Chain A
Amino acid sequence: MIRSFGQAEFLYLLAAARWTVLLSLVAFAGGGVLGLGLAIARTARLRWVRLAAAAWIALFQSVPLLLLLFLVFFGLALYGRDQDPYVAVAAALSLYAGAYLGDIWRGAIEAIPRGQLEGAEALGLRPWARLRLVVLPQAVRIAIPPTIGFLVQVVKNTSLASIIGFAELSQAAQFVNNLTFRPIPVYLAAAAIYFTLCFPLTWTATRLERRLLGRVGANKAQA
Chain B
Amino acid sequence: MGGPTLHFGAVWAAADRLAAGAGLTLALSLACMAAGLLIGTGCALLSAFGGRGARAFVRGYVETIRNTPFLIQLFLIFFGLPSLGVSLSPVVAALVGMSVNAGAYVTEIVRAGVLAIPGGQVEAARALGLRTGRIIRHVVLFPALRQALPALGAQFVLVLLGSSVASTISAEELTGTAHLLETETFRPFEVYIVVAGLYVAMAFALKLGFAGVERWVFATRGRA
Residues of A within 8 A of B (CB): 58-59, 61-68, 70-71, 74-75, 77-79, 152, 156-157, 159-160, 162-163, 170, 173-174, 177, 182-184, 187-188, 190-191, 194-195, 198-199, 202
Minimum CB–CB distance for A171 against chain B, Å: 10
In B52-97, the 8 Å CB interface with A consists of 63-64, 66-73, 75-76, 79-80, 83-84
26 CB contacts below 8 A, A to B, read A61-B203, A62-B157, A62-B200, A62-B203, A63-B161, A63-B196, A64-B165, A65-B161, A66-B164, A67-B195, A70-B188, A71-B192, A71-B193, A78-B4, A152-B67, A157-B69, A159-B71, A170-B69, A173-B72, A183-B83, A187-B76, A188-B80, A191-B68, A194-B67, A194-B68, A195-B68
Q: A63: which B residues are within 8 A, CB to CB?
A: 161, 196, 199-200
- Find out whether the CB atom of A163 lies under 8 angstroms from the CB atom of B83: no
Q: B80: which A residues are within 8 A, CB to CB?
A: 183-184, 187-188
Instruction: Please name 10 further chain A to chain B contacts, defined as beta carbons within 8 Å, in addition to the given A184-B80, A188-B76, A198-B66, sorted by A numbering.
Output: A67-B195, A75-B189, A152-B67, A157-B69, A159-B72, A177-B79, A182-B83, A187-B72, A191-B69, A191-B76
Per CB-CB distance, the 10 closest pairs between chain A and chain B, nearest first, are A62-B203, A64-B164, A198-B67, A159-B69, A183-B79, A156-B69, A74-B188, A64-B161, A184-B80, A191-B68
When A152-B67, A199-B63 are in contact, do A62 and B204 touch as well, CB less than 8 Å? yes
Q: Indicate which residue in A58, A64, A68, A190 contacts B72 across the interface (CB closer than 8 Å).
A: A190
Please give the number of chain B residues whose Cβ is less than 8 angstroms from any Cβ of chain A in the complex.
38
When A64-B161, A183-B79 are in contact, do A70 and B204 touch as well, CB less than 8 Å? no
In B118-162, the 8 Å CB interface with A consists of 157, 161-162
- Find out whether the CB atom of B192 lies under 8 angstroms from the CB atom of A67: yes
Q: B167: which A residues are within 8 A, CB to CB?
A: 66
Q: A77: which B residues are within 8 A, CB to CB?
A: 188-189
Q: B73: which A residues are within 8 A, CB to CB?
A: 191
Kindly state the separation between the CA atoms of A62 and B178 in the bound complex, as whole angstroms: 17
Q: A71: which B residues are within 8 A, CB to CB?
A: 189, 192-193, 196
Name the residue of chain B whose CB is nearest to the CB of A170. B71
Name the residue of chain A whose CB is nearest to the CB of B192. A70
Does B170 reach chain A (CB closer than 8 Å)? no
Does B107 reach chain A (CB closer than 8 Å)? no
Question: Which of B4, B63, B66, B175 gathers the greatest number of chain A CB atoms within 10 Å?
Answer: B66
